[in-house]
């Protein structure tokens, strides 16, 4: 399992738990200093009325399965401010071309993220970032799909996608960073009154209009792992 730095960073099969990972003051502007009533309400632990204390947020467990994430090939981390969760994949690799099987054109991974956090708050995925390496001939397109939902309400889902069109500099291969924002009207928050288990169904698909063209979305080398970052938004319940 390769370790990696926190880099800028897809599905649909059953999963089982794999990893168990262990578990601020406010800056005042001149206006808030002069008007105490406008200052955010904070608690003694470093949180506020609108934001939970980061020290009380941790990853309880992560489950994953799929052709793009065999056991032992995924790592997980969370940023110090608890707003970015990063998944690193060693084997989320897709290929297309005359010498590859049809099954190599798409890979998937389903993730179950269980966060521990204080009651009275909820979180949502606001956007995500994919980071890795792609080599795509002209006529080849690589598309990243991500579907998000919480176990407590599987009927409420949101799916986003972003693509890379081959040719030009992509024909020689290069590192990419693609951002995928969830539309504001489609953002889904974890339920209040219960710890929300976030499900993320990721899929990479390669398609080609040229039968002789080749392409791949993969790791470049030991320094460029394929990563998928989830950017989280937190808020108090009933806000």
Is residue 50 in some structural domain? yes
Residue 175 maps to a domain: yes
Q: Is the pLDDT of residue 38 over 50?
A: no
Determine, yes or no, domain membership for 6: no
pTM, whole model, 2 decimals? 0.76
pLDDT digit string, tens, across residues 210-229: 999 999 998 765 566 789 99
**Looking at the domain assignment, is residue 9 inside a domain?**
no
> What pLDDT score does 239 carry?
62
Residue 11, in any domain of the structure: no
pLDDT tens digits, 87-146: 999 999 999 999 999 999 999 999 999 999 999 999 999 999 999 999 999 999 999 999
Number of domains in the chain: 1
Q: Is residue 48 part of a domain?
A: yes
Within a domain: 141: yes
Length of the chain: 239
**What's the Rg (C-alpha) of the chain?**
20
Question: CA 197, CA 200: separation in Å to the nearest integer?
Answer: 10
- 206 domain-assigned: yes
Q: How confident is the model at residue 28 (pLDDT cuts 50, 70, 90)?
A: very low
Long-range contacts of 99-103 (CB under 8 A, 24+ apart): 99/214, 100/214, 103/67
Residue 67 Ramachandran class (φ > 0 left, ψ -120 to 50 alpha, else beta): alpha
**3-state SS, residue 212:** coil
């Amino acid at each position: 399992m390769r370790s990696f730095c926190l880099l800028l960073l897809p599905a649909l099969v059953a999963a089982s738990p794999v990893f168990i990972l262990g578990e601020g003051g406010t800056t005042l502007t001149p206006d808030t200093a002069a008007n105490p009533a406008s200052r955010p309400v904070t608690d003694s632990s470093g949180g506020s009325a609108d934001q939970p204390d980061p020290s009380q947020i941790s990853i309880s467990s992560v489950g994953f399965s799929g052709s793009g994430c065999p056991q032992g090939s995924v790592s997980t981390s969370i940023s110090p401010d608890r707003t970015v969760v990063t998944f690193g994949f060693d084997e989320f690799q897709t290929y297309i071309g005359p010498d590859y099987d049809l099954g190599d054109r798409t890979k998937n991974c389903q993730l179950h993220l269980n966060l521990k956090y204080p009651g009275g708050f909820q979180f949502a995925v606001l956007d995500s970032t994919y980071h890795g390496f792609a080599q795509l001939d002209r006529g080849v397109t690589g598309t990243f799909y991500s579907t998000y939902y919480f176990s407590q309400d599987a009927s409420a889902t949101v799916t986003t996608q972003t693509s890379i069109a081959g040719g030009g500099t992509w024909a020689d291969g290069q590192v990419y960073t693609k951002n995928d924002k969830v539309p504001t009207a489609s953002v889904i928050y974890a339920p209040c009154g219960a710890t929300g288990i976030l499900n993320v169904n990721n899929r990479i698909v390669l398609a080609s209009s040229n039968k002789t063209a080749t392409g791949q979305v993969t790791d470049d080398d030991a320094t460029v792992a394929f990563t998928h970052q989830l950017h989280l938004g937190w808020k108090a319940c009933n806000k």
